[in-house]
Structure formats: C-alpha cells, structure tokens
Structure 1
Amino acid sequence: MNKNLHAKKILIAPLDWGLGHATRCIVLIQNLQKLKCDITVAASGKTRKLLENEFAGITFLNLPGYEISYSGNKRFLPCKILLQVPKILKIIRYENKWLCEMQNKYAFDAVISDNRYGLYSRTITSVFITHQLSIQTNITWLDRMLQHYNYSFINCFNECWIPDLNGKLNIAGALSHPPKMPAIPSKYIGPLSRLKKINAVTINYKWMVIISGPEPQRSIFEGKILELAAKINDKFMIVRGLPGDDSQKPASSNCMLFNHLGTEEMQTAMQQSEFIISRCGYTTVMEVLSLQKKSVFIPTPGQTEQEYLAKHLFSQNWSYTFNQDDDFKLHLKKATLFNYTLPEINMEQYKDVLNDFIERL
C-alpha cells in the first residue's frame, strides 16, 4: 500500500521553558491540519493547557517538561542552570525512551520537536526547531563548548528548522546565524507567528504588557509594571501569562488585567495598543514584528539569549530596550521618542517548508 494515501500522523512537542514554544507551534498545527495531517501533541502543565484551549479534537499525550528553576539574582543564574544539567540530561534520555514507546503504539510518520532534544529516533523522521544554534554567554570558550554539545543533540535529528530570515537583516543575529551550521540539513523557515496584521484598528491602550517567563522573575517583572502603572495616567492592558489560573491581582483603575488571552483576543489587544512591553522571548518578538508594532523589550535578568537579542533588535531600530533594574518611567518616555524602523517581513515562508516536508514523508 502506498503510504502517501493515508493522513500523515505528526507528533508535535514544544519545550516548556515559558509559553513561547507552545504559541509558535500553534501556526504549525493549524497549517498541518490544513494539509489533512493527524496531529498529536506531547506536553504537560501550562504548555498543555494553552494548546488544549486552542485546539479541540486533537490527541494530547502527557510528556513531563524540563521544569527548570531560575534564580532571583542574575549573577547566580548561570550556576543555577549548570547545577541542573544532570536533571536535563536525565529528561532528554527519558524523552528518547518515551518516544520509542509511543512510536510502537501510535506509529507516527514524523515528530516535530521544538527544542526538546530527546525526541529523535532511527525509525521515524524527526525535525528539531530552534533559533538558538549559537548560545551566547559572553564567554568565548564556553560558547564554543555549548555549541558543541548543542549540535551533538541536534545532529541526531533528520532536519533542523530555524524560524528566522536568512540574510544580513534578521531577527536573531548571531544566535541563528553561526559561522558553523549543524551537520544535518538546516533550513531558515522564516518567523512563526499565530497573529495576522489587520490595518485600520482603533488604538485603545497606550501600553500593552505581556508578562511571561519563569519564576521568580515573572512576578518581579509583574510587580514593577503594576507599580509603574499606578504612577502614570496612561491606559494599560496587562496579560499575566497564567493560562488556567483563576487568581486575581489588584491593579490601578487605568489597567485592564487578564491572566491569559486566547489567540484572537491576544491579536485584538496587541493591535489596539500603541506600544507592546514584554520580555525579549523569541516567540513574542516574532509576533510583535508580524504586527509591525512599536515595542519595548526588557530581558529576563541573567538570560543572556534575551539580553543579546534585545541589543540586536535595538541596533536595527526594530525595538527599544532597557534592563529590569533601570528606571521604567524614564525609559518608557524615551521609547515614545525612539526612531523605530519597523520591517516588513514575509510571515508565510514556513508554509512552503511544511508543504515540501509532508510531500516527502
């Protein structure tokens, strides 16, 4: 029997470090569904909750996340992460064993792993999605060592998809454009965004703030935003990044506060805001750029990837940036005067890659 006659069974598994890996998988799932693929998602916790809210009728398999803990002090973050390396390696080994068991049960045609290093197999076509081929720590020897180990896992997959532009003007800079590429076929698939730009939208908010990231930094960031909003008269829309959480947070009268917004509500809120304030998580960056919104990115302290990315975007005048310990009120005033040069980006490049991939299965 010709295998091309049946609907392709695709397993998609996003990493659980923040919600960005899950949200950028939304557009992949949507388009794979249009290609008549049978989708299964491997996830747990907030990641699973977010995707369950987006998709009805999709099979979900429970796959525990990495559950990495972070330090409240940026100086101790690298040590905190290094101490968890044995735990990460243990989870990667578990992922690989788990995939073999699930493959025997479900017979997937392919697996698409968003930064989950263990989801590869010799018996199934596997794709690894990442924008971070070169890990930036500001320590040259450590960067080289980390890239070596990074590639040792990536090269176990059949393909690597890089959600960025291939050229001098790009989103992630050296993160996604290293001198040495992985040994496996690697493709720049363009940015991934679940959001679509709509013209002629009424502006209802001066600032939309998207709170995200690991604790305790998520709550520290949220506290600083709420303190700022109480001191100025501008209208704020604040999304706390807590899907499935019903807790309430007191806020000043100029704030609209939501624990979570679905895709349509998020798109509307972002379009109706003059400026977007958020962490410099890569998925959020792609979504902001897709809507051509003026943005202010405040990197999570100690996360060198976000710190590098914020500086790279600032150098291209694509966004404004400052640090969490800086004066928020002063820098937001500077952001309103910043000379933004917002790029026009082809946001549908990934569709050709998906079409080609499914045809080759």
Structure 2
Amino acid sequence: MNSTQSKIIIAPLNWGLGHASRCVPIINALISEKFIPIIASDGKALDFLKKEFPTLETLELPSYHIKYGKNIKWNLLKQLPTILKAVKKEKQLLEQFIGKNKDVVGVISDNRFGVRSNRVPSVYITHQTTVLSGFTTFITSKIHQNSIKKFNECWIPDTEDSLFSGKLSEFKKHKNQKFIGVLSRFKKEELEKSINILVLLSGPEPNRTFFEKKLMLAFKKDTRNIVFVLGKVEVHQKKWTEKNLTFYNYVLSEELEKLINASEIVVCRSGYSSIMDLAVLNKKVFFIPTKNQPEQEYLASYFKEKKVAPFCILEDFTSYKLEEVQNYSGLNSEETKLSSDLFSLF
C-alpha cells in the first residue's frame, strides 16, 4: 500500500474510446492503492476521462490524428510521419512534466509509444503483441515488440491462455510481459431486460458515422425497443427518441453499465475493450467488425469459430441477422480484481 500519495501518469491512446475506457478500472485501482492518477491523453479520450474523473489532474498530449476510411493500412502509412512527430512531442512533454513534478513515481501508457521515461518505471498496456496487417504482419509485429521492450513491463489485459485475444497476444518471448486478466469498468447486475437491442457505436471518424447511418437505416422499420449510444463525447449529454429508437450522444460508465445489463442483445464493433466489457456482463452480442481493420476482423472470426458470437460485414447487415444470436453462447468472463501486487513496480 502506497502511503505517500505518489502520482502515476496514465495515458491512453485517443483512438475511439476503447483505450480510455479500459483504463477506468486501472485508475480506480490506483486510487484504491492511494496513488494519485494523472490522466494524460488528447481529444475525445481525454474528454471522456475528464467526465469520468472530474477531480483528477490532466495533461494534454499531442494528437496522433489517427483517421481512416476505406483503406486503413494505406491511410495509417500516410499518417506515419505525423504519428512519429506526435510520439516525439509527447515524450518531450512527459519528461518536462516529470522534471517539474518530483512526486511522479511511474507511467502507464496504453498504446502511446512516447509515454515512457528513464526516470521512473514505465508500463505499456496492449493486447496485441502480434499486430495483424496481412502480408506485413511479421514487420508490424516486430516493430511493436521492439517498442514494448523499451518499457519496464507490458501488461496484457487477458487470461494467461489468451482466451479473449487469441493469437494477438500469443507472442510470449518477453520476460517483461504480465497477463493481468480481463479489464472492465463494469459489474454484472440482474436487471429487467427492458431494451431489446442496444447498439454501441465507436471508433474514429469517418467510419463511426458510416456505421451510425447504416444501422439507423437497418432498424428504421423495426418495432422492437432499440437504444443507440452514438459514442460522440460532446459538452452536454443528449437523449432523444424517434419512434421506437432512443438515442444518446454518449453515456458515462455508470449509465452505460445499466443500459448493457438491461439489454437482451448488443450490436457493436468487435473492438477488444467492448469484448472485455460484454464478457464481464455475460452478454449475447452481434459483431460488425470495421472493414479492413485486421484486429477486429480476426476477433469477430475467432469468436464465431468458438460459437460465442456471430458477425457480418456492415454492408450485409439487416435486423434479421440478429436471429443468429440464439445459436451462440454469448461472451462470459469473471470480473478481474486488480491486486496491489500489480503496482509493486512503482
């Protein structure tokens, strides 16, 4: 137990809200262990965590400006110089901050390469020690693994047997790797199933908007009770209805936990943070992976093969597809209690 109120910087990548949301249980665990978390990020991820933890100090980092359209690999390659520039800048900002704040005793980075320091122990969080990218998988994985080696520890949010991430986390040659269990900000609660279908939208633009428009069209004539959470973190939360459809621009963890617990079926991307959240809540789910994003396409196929959840591509989706869900077991996992031993590095 830390008794000196030491500070730890926790910095998730701003790519959708998945990296930020899975940092919520880590931030809560740090607070329980009497550390003072400092949230470092940018854009919607920073906005989201500011709303979740309004009393915590924040540090704004440069944006990686990750955007993708139809060809993700090509778009990311084009953006590489911008990303590398941001990595260099965030490293400078971090060192300046640690230099001025002597009570910072550690850094936890969720997929931000520049958020590490030689002055304090630095941890990297990822479920992808293998980065799938088609015929370039060996190269992208090697680059990522070399980056991971620069950190004191790599925390993998999964079970020791890679139950949820499959081959994404099966590269286990590094001594600094720790499997820390399924990370979720949620707790299972038995509520009346008042929502037939809960649609969770997420991810960077413009893909998030494509996703929203297609699903609104698919459910337009549906008579069931359907709730959309749009994943748009704005200044004020909004809620509105159109016939049988209810919309939220965004919801924070406590309210989202209730919505998911009260839903029969969840429709969402096959992003890893969503998978962990839904597993802890034991949900039936239909996945629509982001096209040309190998990680999501792999995870959707992986859970279909295991008869856990069906999926289809966005272009093929209709509301009738949800009938397939009854033939699958649904996601299921025990909630992970993060032990104080995890933070012994600091």
Question: TM-score scaled to structure 1, two decimals?
Answer: 0.91
Whole-angstrom distance in 2 between the partners of 1:338 and 1:279: 19
Question: CA RMSD, aligned part only?
Answer: 1.9
Deviation at 1:358, TM superposition (A): 3.0
Partner of 1:340: 329
Partner of 2:320: 330
Specify the SS of the correspondent of 2:192: coil
Matches within 5 A, 1:72-91: 73=70, 76-91=71-86
Matches within 5 A, 1:271-286: 271-286=261-276
In the alignment, residue 277 of structure 2 is paired with which amino acid? E
Whole-angstrom distance in 1 between the partners of 2:330 and 2:167: 20
Partner of 1:356: 341
Partner of 1:159: 153
Contact 2:233 2:249 (8 Å CA) reproduced: yes
Moved more, 118-127 or 322-331: 322-331
Deviation at 1:95, TM superposition (A): 1.8
- 1:185 pairs with 2:185: no
Deviation at 1:245, TM superposition (A): 5.1
Specify the SS of the correspondent of 1:110: strand
Whole-angstrom distance in 1 between the partners of 2:317 and 2:140: 34
Partner of 1:14: 12
Specify the SS of the correspondent of 1:40: strand
What is the count of residue pairs matched by the alignment? 345
Partner of 1:171: 164
Matches within 5 A, 1:109-124: 109-124=105-120
Unmatched tracts of structure 1, length 5 or more: none
Deviation at 1:94, TM superposition (A): 1.4
Whole-angstrom distance in 1 between the partners of 2:331 and 2:212: 27
Moved more, 28-37 or 224-233: 224-233
Partner of 1:292: 282
2:41 to 43, 46, 51: 43
Whole-angstrom distance in 1 between the partners of 2:32 and 2:151: 25
* % identical aligned pairs: 34
Whole-angstrom distance in 2 between the partners of 1:135 and 1:12: 23
Whole-angstrom distance in 2 between the partners of 1:67 and 1:237: 30
Deviation at 1:342, TM superposition (A): 4.0
Whole-angstrom distance in 2 between the partners of 1:40 and 1:151: 26
2:259 to 269, 278, 283: 269
The one-character-per-residue Cα deviations of 1:196-230 (angstroms, maximum 9, x if unpaired) are 0012x101111000011111111111011111221
Whole-angstrom distance in 1 between the partners of 2:52 and 2:239: 25
Unmatched tracts of structure 2, length 5 or more: none
Contact 1:96 1:119 (8 Å CA) reproduced: yes
Whole-angstrom distance in 2 between the partners of 1:248 and 1:291: 25
Partner of 1:233: 223
Deviation at 1:360, TM superposition (A): 4.0
Question: TM-score scaled to structure 2, two decimals?
Answer: 0.95
